[in-house]
Amino acid sequence: MKDIMLNWATVFFTIACIALVLGFLNISPPVTKIAKILCGIFTVLFTLALVVGLQQG
């Protein structure tokens, strides 16, 4: 179970980084706003998956 949670944490971190890059490129205002929101959501999911994965050790 620990490996699965850490894999999900890696996926969430990757998506958060992509959203962060897209959010700060200022492609267009709606895209920027959505990307910043997604970055926040996936950062929270990354943190939760990481904490749960490490606690299951």
pTM of this structure = 0.72
Whether 57 and 4 have beta carbons less than 8 Å apart is answered as no
Mean pLDDT of the 15-43 span? 84
For residue 44, is pLDDT > 90? Answer: yes
Contact 46, 18 (CB under 8 A): no
Predicted confidence (pLDDT) per residue in 12-25, tens digit: 899 888 888 877 78
Check residues 1 and 50 and name the one with the higher pLDDT.
50
pLDDT of 57 strictly over 70: no
Domain coordinates in residue numbering, the chain? 2-55
Mean per-residue pLDDT over the chain, rounded? 85
Cβ-contact 15, 42 below 8 angstroms:
yes
How far apart CA 28 and CA 57 sit, in angstroms, is: 43
- Beta carbons within 10 angstroms of residue 9's beta carbon: 20
